[in-house]
Amino acid sequence: MKINFIDLKAQYKEYQTEIDSEVLEVFSSAQFIGGEKLNKLENSLVTYTGAKHAIGCSSGTDALILSLMALDIGAGDEVITTPFTFIATAEVIAFLGAKSVFVDIDEDTYNIDPSLIEDAITDRTKAIIPVSLYGQCADMDAINAIAAKHEIPVIEDACQSFGATYHGKKSCNLSTIGCTSFFPSKPLGAYGDGGAIFTNDEEIAQKIRMLLNHGQNERYKHKFIGMNGRLDAVQAAVLNVKLKHFDKETIAREHIGARYSDLLEDVGVITPKIAEGNVSVFAQYSIRVKDREAMIAKLGEKEIPTAVHYPVPLHLQEAFSPLGYKKGDFPVSEEVSTQIMSLPMSPYLTEAQQDFIVEAIKG
């Protein structure tokens, strides 16, 4: 049975006529940067999330960089985040000369453990970046309460959770700034790199719009040292089509995730736990198994693709060795990283394919 880890071809076939038409309009207009398609996308993102401002940018990584730049974070500053995430979360902190201060994760949700954050705060702490991992929001109420107490801004790394909800509010509109990615494999994916930044703060929004366009406040007048972080019109056109159908896909993802968990109950694997008040968008469906390599090999024999998100926590990565962390510093992250594995997941995964995967795991 042919199973794709993420079935982007099936999605394209579903929306091909609309996508082709939108992209051809961009080619015909020859307006490849900014313009009508980007304006339409940003307005739709505002409507979808409820945030006052949605700003398209070149990637999820650049969304995080721009957010830190907007908060004037740089050398000597500290930013609290999780060691169990993709490297981009901490990479951007180091890129600007600041220091990542890691805090271990909650064993059930794999998101940063709010109960450990306050002890990590110093007079150099300038931001907190919780990651809404695998499509489930971090415990933002608890994190925001701690941040408010210490007057620290919060940047939600929502690169995996666009479309998720937390106590009735959309991910990306839960903190000072929200950042998401439109990398093709994300729940809402473009056909290349792309991202967006969300905020309810007018001053931050205006600054980010300047920063992503070389710091310009008007043509050839530069208020800040910025970067080229613009989202191109072709990607905006693709996203405009996909966003129209996105609610249908998030419902499918939630159904497939719940069905996986039901079918894998009492099989000897640890399935995702969705915290009360959360609706996950299941960017990945990740289970924990004691002998991961054997399971991956067994599924591979049946041509079932798998992935590991993430095999090495950030504090043990060579790139972050100057921070001085060692094995044993974040035991939950370390244990989860040896057991976690992701199964095929997309709105186009059929029940027959899902049954085949589950039977292989049971075997």
- What is the pLDDT tens value at each position of the chain, 363 positions in all? 889 999 999 999 999 999 999 999 999 999 999 999 999 999 999 999 999 999 999 999 999 999 999 999 999 999 999 999 999 999 999 999 999 999 999 999 999 999 999 999 999 999 999 999 999 999 999 999 999 999 999 999 999 999 999 999 999 999 999 999 999 999 999 999 999 999 999 999 999 999 999 999 999 999 999 999 999 999 999 999 999 999 999 999 999 999 999 999 999 999 999 999 999 999 999 999 999 999 999 999 999 999 999 999 999 999 999 999 999 999 999 999 999 999 999 999 999 999 999 999 998
Cα-Cα-Cα-Cα torsion 115, 117, 123, 127, nearest 10 degrees, comes to: -140
Residue 217's SS3 state is: strand
19-38 tens-digit pLDDT: 999 999 999 999 999 999 99
Please check whether residues 159 and 240 belong to one and the same domain: yes
Please check whether residues 145 and 89 belong to one and the same domain: yes
Please check whether residues 217 and 280 belong to one and the same domain: no
Please check whether residues 94 and 49 belong to one and the same domain: yes
Residue 81 in contact with residue 255, Cβ under 8 Å?
no
115-153 tens-digit pLDDT: 999 999 999 999 999 999 999 999 999 999 999 999 999
- Domain at 170, CATH number: 3.40.640.10
Please check whether residues 12 and 57 belong to one and the same domain: yes
Q: Range of 291's domain?
A: 247-362
Structure tokens at 37: 């398609």
The letter for the amino acid at 255 is: H
Beta strands in the chain (DSSP E): 53-57, 78-81, 99-102, 125-129, 155-157, 165-166, 169-170, 177-181, 195-199, 216-218, 221-222, 278-279, 285-288, 340-343
* Number of CB atoms found within 10 A of residue 254's CB: 19
Distance of CA 170 to the CA centre of its chain: 13
Please check whether residues 140 and 278 belong to one and the same domain: no
- Compute the distance between CA of residue 51 and CA of residue 200 in angstroms, rounded to an integer: 6
Place of tokens 């710091």: 215
Please check whether residues 233 and 291 belong to one and the same domain: no
Full-model pTM: 0.97
Residue 143 lies in a domain: yes
Residue 2 lies in a domain: no
Structure tokens at 175: 């903190």
- Compute the distance between CA of residue 175 and CA of residue 165 in angstroms, rounded to an integer: 13
Number of separate domains in the chain: 2
